[in-house]
Amino acid sequence: MINPWDGLVELREIGEFGLIARIRNRLPAYLPRVFQGIGDDAAIASLSPGNDLVSTVDLMVEEVHFNLALTSAHLLGRKSLAVNLSDMAAMGARPRFALISLALPARIRVESVDEFYLGFLEMAEAHGVSLIGGDTSFSPDRLFISVTLLGEGKKEILVCRHGARPGDDLYVTGTLGDSLLGLSLARTLQGKSPLPDEKYLLEKHFNPIPRVQEGLALAEKGLATAMIDVSDGLFSDLRHICEESRVGATVFAQRIPQSNAFQSLSPALGRSGWQSAVRGGEDYELLFSAPPQKASEVMALARQWECGVTCIGKVEPISHGIIIRDEQGQVGPELLKGFDHFAAWEQN
């Protein structure tokens, strides 16, 4: 009998983004009322003139995205909404409603589910989001959490990945690499109580703050030409902007923002320098482009933000490719690789 799940191409050969491209290519070229479909942080669809629906969904899988031995149910609840809020922020949209689906193994305790919702609803309230539904299933082995977030905006001011133009400056909010360092640290702490710098890094990984107000302000003031949230590593996410905008980029390695905690604790964990800061993922900072004429406006706006902003490079013509420069000159392209689910699976 022919196995209907047979085929020649293994997922690891095309990778996560190859798979998404394959799905995207199956869609008709025109989808009614869809302004931005697959290929951005969130989709934009028109409901009525002047009011556009922005939607995004994320799936978190136990042992892939989180480990129950390292995080609490409360923080997991917060983070499962925060990662969606970060995608909403990257569009410059206002989050409104959430739906959540859980697939739960029978070993999970009811009190932990209560704690999870306490965290989730705390994050929801902080961003004016109402939980309006979801779905629940048994899972034989691992815990699965999928959150759908719906928001609103006007397509004329929402910021997609495809608007970067050669000559634009490239900016990133906050600092990079803290989250991945926080995760490495959590694996070494083994119950010891953390010192202040350690606590900072752990918070960055287990309790990230989505840049919702920052994304909204950049969109409302018309400053950003393209925007993405940094979830897979700076260069992986920059590549998405470059591909969608059909441009290249130069990034100055020495400008990549690192926190004091990162600088003081990364050497001991064998992860120092900008290379480690960009290799990370799960930073949930915003990477955006803006025309050089808007530089002073961007900096003035960012003075109101606790997270700050750093200009890390420039958008270039497509023929330039994506280039990283450090003090010695140009850096090899191997660092341009970010997190890919199926490539990570191969490494395991």
Which CB, 198 or 244, lies closer to Mg ion? 244
Q: In angstroms, rounded to a whole number, what is the distance separating the alpha carbons of residues 189 and 221?
A: 43
Going by C-alpha positions, the residue among 89, 147, 67 that lies closest to residue 285 is 89
Q: In this chain, which of 14, 34, 38, 99 binds ligand ADP, going by CB under 6 A?
A: 38
Closest residue by Cα to residue 97 from 71, 129, 74: 129
- Give me the helix-helix angle, 73-89 and 212-220, nearest 10°: 10
- Within residues 46-105, the interface with ligand ADP by CB under 6 A covers 58, 87
Candidates 40, 168, 169, 285; binder of ligand ADP (CB under 6 A) is 40
Q: Which stretch binds ligand ADP (CB under 6 A): 3-11, 36-44, 307-315, 331-339?
A: 36-44
Does residue 27 belong to the site contacting ligand ADP (CB under 6 A)?
Answer: no
Residues of this chain, 128-167, that bind ligand ADP according to CB under 6 A: none
9, 23, 47, 118: which one binds ligand ADP (CB under 6 A): 23
Structure-block tokens of residue 254: 């020495």
Return the number of other C-beta atoms located less than 10 Å from residue 181's C-beta: 27
To ligand ADP, the closest distance from the beta carbon of 20 in angstroms equals: 4
Whole-angstrom distance, CA of residue 315 vs CA of residue 155? 23
Binding site for Mg ion (CB under 5 A): 41, 87, 229, 231
What is the DSSP secondary structure assignment for residue 247, as one 8-state letter? -
**Looking at beta carbons only, is 213 or 263 nearer to Mg ion?**
213
Task: Find the shortest distance in angstroms from Cβ 208 to ligand ADP.
Answer: 14
- The least distance separating ligand ADP from the CB of residue 71, rounded to whole angstroms, comes to 20
Tell me the window of 38-46, 296-304, 307-315, 336-344 that interacts with ligand ADP (CB under 6 A).
Answer: 38-46
8 φ, ψ (degrees, to nearest 5): -100, -35
Q: Which is nearer to Mg ion, 178 or 229 (CB)?
A: 229
131/120 Cα distance (integer angstroms) = 9
Of 41 and 198, which has the nearer Cβ to ligand ADP? 41
Residue 20 within binding range of ligand ADP, rule CB under 6 A? yes
* The two structure tokens encoding residue 125: 């309230």
CA-to-CA distance for 263 and 178, rounded, in angstroms? 10
